Structure 1
Amino acid sequence: MTSAIPVGDAHPYLRAANAGVRHHTRALTTRAQTTPTPADRVHLDVLHAHLTALHQLLDHLATTTRPPHPAAGRHLATAHTRLWQSAAAVHDAFHLLPAVHETTTDTECHPERLPEGPPVLTICQRHLAAGHIVRRKTTPSDLNTPLHGHTTICSQ
């Protein structure tokens, strides 16, 4: 995708994140042509982290854009809601995939050794934190409403 915004004016961290996602997508597409592999929990965990980071960014942008530009702020708020729905679907898919059992020499599991807790819970903690933002700013009916009626008129 190309943008009309000069590259020097774009946000460098977002450009880097987008480049990482594009690279990963190309790598998966190339690998899928030779040996297709289904998604695993690691991929979904990283994708969920990316979606929730974008969710926080959209939350901030919608909040700061709405006062001076109400229509644009409403569209960003709608994108914020739809991104939450995407993160929730990825979270649900994560729990439907089988757990990966790593082989170690230690036969006991010691999740207390990990500073962030057991690996399976980090996605849940991240999801609950993002859910707090959603519940604070979005009604349940908004979360269940499919996207329709939003049109954008592009002017050149």
Structure 2
Amino acid sequence: MTSRTPPDDAHPYLRAASAGIRHHTRALTPSDAHPPRPADRLHLDVLHTHLTSLHQLLDRLADTTRPPHPGAGRHLATAHTLLWQATSEVHSAFHLLPSNTAAEAETGACHPERLPEGPPVLTICQRHLAAGHSIRRKTTPTDLRPHTTTCVR
């Protein structure tokens, strides 16, 4: 079975995103000139944005693939769940890193009750809670164990 579009033209935005991640990974590779740096909150926030976007894409792919190809759809649904677990761990790591500013330190904890009016640092929490609603509609709590959708801090 062949695709209708040549590989050069298929999914240009996904290819660009993948190329960006490869470039970033190479840039983080330690060398004599650049010693390794630990992740900071900004780095994890951007990574969390990418993971939640990929999470939404997998959700839609699983939904559209499942009717004509149930086996492939189940595998995509499993990938969707596993990606959620990875996204949740990145969110938890974000809250365990030290903040860069005093204002961020005071407001860095995740307080879902304050999200609509919260400071910009809580954007990751808003995004995470929105993605959590999506995963809870399609999975059972058993599927998500031992991971939870709550903040650790």
Which TM bucket (shorter chain)?
0.7 to 0.9
Instruction: Give the match for residue 89 of structure 1.
Output: 89
Query: What does 1:19-34 correspond to in 2, within 5 Å?
Result: 19-30=19-30, 34=34
Cα distance between partner residues in 1 of 2:93 and 2:63:
30
Alpha-carbon distance in 2 for matches of 1:124, 1:95: 10
Tell me the TM-score normalized by structure 1.
Answer: 0.76
Task: Please say if 1:71 is aligned against 2:71.
Answer: yes
* CA distance in structure 2 between the partners assigned to 1:67 and 1:49 by the alignment: 29
Q: CA RMSD in A?
A: 2.5
Identity of aligned residues (%): 73
Aligned-pair distance for 1:127?
0.1
1:144: how far off? 1.8
Count of matched residue pairs: 131
> 5+ residue gaps in structure 2?
108-116, 148-153
Q: Supply the distance in 2 between the matched residues of 1:32 and 1:91 (Cα, whole angstroms).
A: 31
Q: Does 1:126 align with 2:115?
A: no
Contact 2:30–2:36 at 8 Å: present in 1 too?
no
Question: Structure 1 residues 134 and 69, CA, compared in 2 at 3 Å: closer, same or farther?
Answer: same
Q: Aligned to 1:68, what secondary structure does the other structure show?
A: coil
Alpha-carbon distance in structure 2 between the residues aligned to 1:97 and 1:145: 22
Between the aligned partners of 2:137 and 2:20, the Cα distance in structure 1 is 31
In the alignment, the residues of structure 2 paired with residue 32 and residue 41 of structure 1 have an alpha-carbon distance, to the nearest angstrom, of 25
Paired position in structure 1 for 2:48? 48
Gaps of 5+ in 1: 104-108, 110-115, 147-156
- Could you say which structure has the larger radius of gyration? 1
Q: 1:145 to 1:69 in 2, by over 3 A?
A: farther
Shift of residue 39 of structure 1?
0.5
**Residue-by-residue CA offset, 1:83-129 (whole Å, 9 max, x unaligned):** 000000000000000111189xxxxx9xxxxxx95221000000000
TM-score of the superposed pair, with normalisation by structure 2: 0.78
- Structure 2: how far apart are the matches of 1:95 and 1:35? 24
**Distance of aligned partners of 1:102 and 1:35 in 2 relative to their CA distance in 1, 3 Å threshold:** farther
